[in-house]
């Protein structure tokens, strides 16, 4: 199999005490229910791949790619095992053995050929001079109206964002196991984006710029939270914490402070903050296993509806997309509904009052 990416994590795998605390709120285990659907089982599978006790196969690959990388297992692990690192390294070994997912392959090829996950040759960054580098990311570049809204919000709050032509940060390559492709892409990215400090719009990009490149990256809401004026929107809402936002960046109070200053009455879901339930859109399963993603998202949207709030607000474009779909499904199934929107839409409406 060549170089084994799991080798450097053998100690981490041996640190796992097989306690199964990681099963408690694992979004995949809660749906599928087999040991290999939770972090403990995936660590065992990874160890088997490393030691040669298990031969890489499509069934093992399918299990290791059924992970949203939501970090909930890390939050609960008493041994602080680096579970997502183990899973992404196991994926890398499986990719090297020829077990890459075809959908993931296409995404990686899109990044290599066009610089974005969608393979869209028409994507154009709204370039402008400014004082603070702003990293938009693939998700927002594909949603130009949302991008414009965030830029207008920053300017209205006295911040001049500097925008330039972008490349994908490369996180999909890393998390999906395409390590060789990411190594080459990383060099291109650093050459294109040489900044040391950056404001980013996407939660996942924000944390990967920090963890993958060592940049001093802040999410745009951290900056907005410091300057947002008061308003009275008269809205009752619940907030969905994106996994990379709450458990990755530890940004829990900032979005809530923004919403409260804008006059939004917040009601919390059963699982919120660092204990927030995943929407089902992360880790690549939205692309490779949309049916599983849908089932996870439906559980989350039911929590939102149970609060009695009229609106669900989130700060991640992926979360917004999958939860909107889940809200439509729930309305069809049970007749219950909730409006799903992004926090930048709420902020913009508040600033215009």
**Residue-wise pLDDT tens digits, 284-297:** 999 999 999 999 99
pLDDT tens digits, residue range 59-111? 999 999 999 999 999 999 999 999 999 999 999 999 999 999 999 999 999 99
Q: What is the pTM of this model?
A: 0.94
pLDDT of 352 above 90: no
pLDDT of 353 above 90: no
pLDDT of residue 124: 86
pLDDT tens digits, residue range 235-277? 999 999 999 999 999 999 999 999 999 999 999 999 999 999 9
For the domain made up of 132-224, the CATH class stated in words is alpha beta
pLDDT band at 3 (very low <50, low <70, confident <90, very high): low
Instruction: Measure the CA–CA gap between 22 and 301, rounded to whole angstroms.
Output: 22
- Which phi and psi angles does 216 have, rounded to 5°? -85, 85
pLDDT band at 4 (very low <50, low <70, confident <90, very high): confident
| Percent of the chain residues topping a pLDDT of 90 | 97
Average pLDDT, the chain: 95
Delimit the CATH 3.40.50.11810 region(s) of the chain: 228-351
Residue 61: burial class (beta carbons within 10 Å; 0-12, 13-18, 19+): buried
The edge-to-edge listing of strands for the beta sheet with 197-200 is 161-162, 132-135, 197-200, 216-219
Which CATH number is associated with domain 7-96? 1.10.1060.10
- Which phi and psi angles does 132 have, rounded to 5°? -115, 120
Instruction: Measure the CA–CA gap between 296 and 302, rounded to whole angstroms.
Output: 10
- Which phi and psi angles does 204 have, rounded to 5°? -70, -45
276 touches 246 (CB < 8 A): yes
**Helices 343-351, 253-261: crossing angle, 10 deg rounding:** 30
pLDDT of residue 13: 96
pLDDT of 161 above 60: yes
pLDDT band at 305 (very low <50, low <70, confident <90, very high): very high
Which of 125-129, 200-204, 214-218 is predicted least confidently? 125-129
Count of beta carbons in the 10 Å neighbourhood of residue 14: 12
The edge-to-edge listing of strands for the beta sheet with 339-342 is 264-266, 235-240, 311-314, 339-342
pLDDT of 315 above 90: yes
Instruction: Measure the CA–CA gap between 53 and 43, rounded to whole angstroms.
Output: 13
Instruction: Measure the CA–CA gap between 123 and 144, rounded to whole angstroms.
Output: 9
pLDDT of residue 19: 94
**Could you confirm whether domain 228-351 is CATH 3.40.50.11810?**
yes
pLDDT of residue 1: 45
């Amino acid at each position: 199999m060549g170089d084994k990416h799991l080798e450097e994590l053998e100690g981490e795998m041996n640190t796992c005490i097989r306690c199964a605390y990681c099963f408690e709120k694992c979004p995949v285990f809660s749906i599928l229910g087999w040991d290999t659907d939770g972090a403990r089982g995936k660590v065992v599978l990874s160890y088997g791949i490393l030691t040669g006790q298990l031969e890489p196969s499509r069934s093992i690959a399918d299990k290791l790619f059924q992970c949203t990388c939501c970090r909930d297992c890390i939050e609960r692990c008493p041994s602080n095992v680096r579970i997502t690192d183990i899973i992404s390294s196991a994926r890398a070994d499986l990719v090297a053995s020829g077990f890459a997912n075809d959908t993931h392959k296409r995404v990686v090829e899109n990044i290599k050929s066009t610089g974005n996950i969608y393979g869209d040759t028409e994507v154009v960054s709204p370039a402008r001079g400014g004082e603070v580098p702003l990293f938009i990311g693939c998700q927002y570049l594909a949603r130009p109206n949302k991008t414009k809204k965030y830029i207008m919000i920053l300017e209205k709050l006295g911040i001049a964002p500097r925008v330039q032509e972008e490349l994908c940060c490369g996180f999909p390559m890393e998390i999906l196991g395409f390590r060789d492709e990411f190594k080459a892409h990383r060099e291109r990215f650093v050459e294109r984006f040489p900044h040391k400090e950056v404001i980013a719009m996407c939660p996942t990009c924000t944390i990967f710029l920090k963890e993958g490149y060592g940049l001093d990256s802040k999410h745009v809401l951290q900056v907005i939270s410091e300057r947002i004026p008061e308003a009275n929107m008269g809205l009752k809402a619940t907030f969905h914490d994106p996994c990379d936002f709450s458990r990755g960046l530890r940004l829990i109070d900032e979005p809530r402070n923004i919403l409260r200053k804008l006059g939004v009455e917040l009601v919390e879901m059963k699982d919120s903050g660092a204990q927030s339930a995943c929407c089902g859109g992360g880790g690549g399963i939205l692309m490779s296993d949309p049916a599983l993603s849908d089932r996870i998202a439906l559980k989350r949207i039911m929590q939102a509806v149970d609060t009695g709030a009229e609106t669900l607000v989130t700060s991640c474009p992926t979360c917004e997309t999958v939860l909107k779909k889940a809200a439509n499904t729930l309305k069809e199934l049970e007749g219950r509904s909730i409006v799903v929107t992004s926090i930048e839409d709420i902020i913009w409406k508040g600033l215009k009052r």
